[in-house]
Structure 1
Amino acid sequence: MKKIKAVLFDMDGVIFDTERVYLETWRKIFKKYGYDMSDDVYISVMGRGRKNVIKKFLELYGENLPITQMYEEKDKELKKAVESGQIAIKEGAKEILEFLKERGYRIALATSAKIERANIQFRNTDIKEDFDVMVYGDDVVKAKPDPEIFLKAAKKLCVNPEDCIVIEDSAAGIEGAYKAKMIGIHVEDLKKADNDILKYCHKSFENLLDIKEYLSKNIDR
């Protein structure tokens, strides 16, 4: 922990309180088409990128699931939610970003979200300027838990992977950080820390303020 030079953040469920809105949107669309969407099913695909989500849904619900049409409806509903300001910044996000900037750490966003949606979410905030680089789902071939997005962010920051912390809420993100040889810190959102997370993460915390407090005592600058 003492040699850390950069901190990489996921976006959904870490910087923005999006996952609950996404879950309710998916639940409504699935119900419209005669299917049930449980919390566990949604949590199992969090952070894994659209291709992997589609593959998982088709495995669970069958090849007749009209997933293309459902995704189109989901995208429209989520765009409305984002543009109408329903997506709040997570508690502690501003504080931890300010803490890291003041101490000279490099900061990156590493999100599976597409750049268009990410830009909409950041539009009404003043925190985008706190990030030195941003890497989106559009920028990578392989989604989390593949480490590609984290390695690309580290390269853009000009730091070694082993000198990076990754803050993630999903099991896929934590596994991806581990595969990138980075220090994965889990923050609870919809997903509580279970064995799939604990075996890959350095530590798990309830919120970003607790992570900020931990970092203040365990990293030098």
Structure 2
Amino acid sequence: MKKIKAVLFDMDGVIFDTERIYLEHWIEIFQKHGYTMTQEVYASVMGRGRENVMKIFKEVYGQDLPILEMYKEKDKMLKQAVEEGKVPMKPGAKEILGFLKNNNFKIALATSAKRDRMIMQLKMANIEAEFDAVICGDDITKSKPNPEIFLKAAQSIGIAPENCAVVEDSSAGIDAAYKAEMLALHVEDLKKPDEEILKYCKKSFKDLFEIKEYIAQISNINIQ
């Protein structure tokens, strides 16, 4: 295993407990429009970027699905949830960021979210300074599982892909990290480790505390 010099984080479902809020909002919006959203359908689109999500939703629910209108409703609901402090950080997020910073790892955020929401969430949590670089959906042309976002993040912090670890909760994210030839670490959220995730990740973890311990172990860092 190559020496890990940087850790790249997805945002939704990894740093913030956003995916559960997303699912609640989508269930409400789909019901309002006469459709039924399930956790299984939502989990299948996690991390894939808005354009891909809209395409998949239309394939599942039909081409008449008013997805643009639904996305406007979802964006408004999520913005309000963030502003009201209803989107907490995931357990262990502050701890792993502090551990990495204290041990001189480079840290980058690589999220499919749009820049305005990304900035708002980072500011609300007061963690903007924790990241050496941030790459968002506005900065890329190809969404996960394409590796573009992780390769750009690695380039922005000056670390070779083989020296980067990626923390992801979605199948698309793990696939993208694998294609980028980075160490793919899966953390459970709405998506449990299925066959595809286990095929492409180095290891799956219950939470960020376990990932912190794993990085310390493979880097020979004593955290006792």
Q: Do both proteins adopt the same fold according to a TM-score greater than 0.5, normalized to the shorter chain? A: yes
Amino acid at match of 1:196: E
- Secondary structure of the residue aligned to 1:185 is strand
Amino acid at match of 2:48: R
Amino acid at match of 1:21: I
What is the aligned partner in structure 2 of residue 52 from structure 1?
52
What is the aligned partner in structure 1 of residue 148 from structure 2?
148
- CA displacement 1:54-112 (0-9 Å, x = unmatched): 00001001111111111111111111111111000110001101111111010000000
Listed as ranges, the matches of 1:1-221 within 5 Å are 1=1, 3-220=3-220
Q: Mind listing any 5+ residue stretches in structure 2 that lack a counterpart?
A: none
- CA displacement 1:1-35 (0-9 Å, x = unmatched): 45111000000000000100000000000000000
Task: Work out the CA distance in 1 between the residues paired with 2:36 and 2:19.
Answer: 17
- Secondary structure of the residue aligned to 2:145 is coil
Task: Work out the CA distance in 2 between the residues paired with 1:64 and 1:138.
Answer: 27
The question of whether the paired residues in 1 share the 8 Å contact of 2:2 and 2:162 is answered with no
- CA displacement 1:199-218 (0-9 Å, x = unmatched): 00000000000111111111
Q: What RMSD, in angstroms, separates the aligned Cα atoms of the two structures?
A: 0.9
Per the TM alignment, residue 120 of structure 1 is displaced from its structure 2 partner at its CA by: 1.1
Task: Work out the CA distance in 2 between the residues paired with 1:6 and 1:132.
Answer: 10
TM-score for both structures, normalised by structure 1: 0.98
Instruction: List structure 1 runs of 4+ shifted beyond 4 angstroms.
Output: none
- CA displacement 1:168-193 (0-9 Å, x = unmatched): 00000000000000000000000000
Per the TM alignment, residue 220 of structure 1 is displaced from its structure 2 partner at its CA by: 4.1
TM-score for both structures, normalised by structure 2: 0.97
The question of whether the paired residues in 2 share the 8 Å contact of 1:169 and 1:187 is answered with yes
Percentage of pairs with the same residue: 61
- Secondary structure of the residue aligned to 2:200 is coil
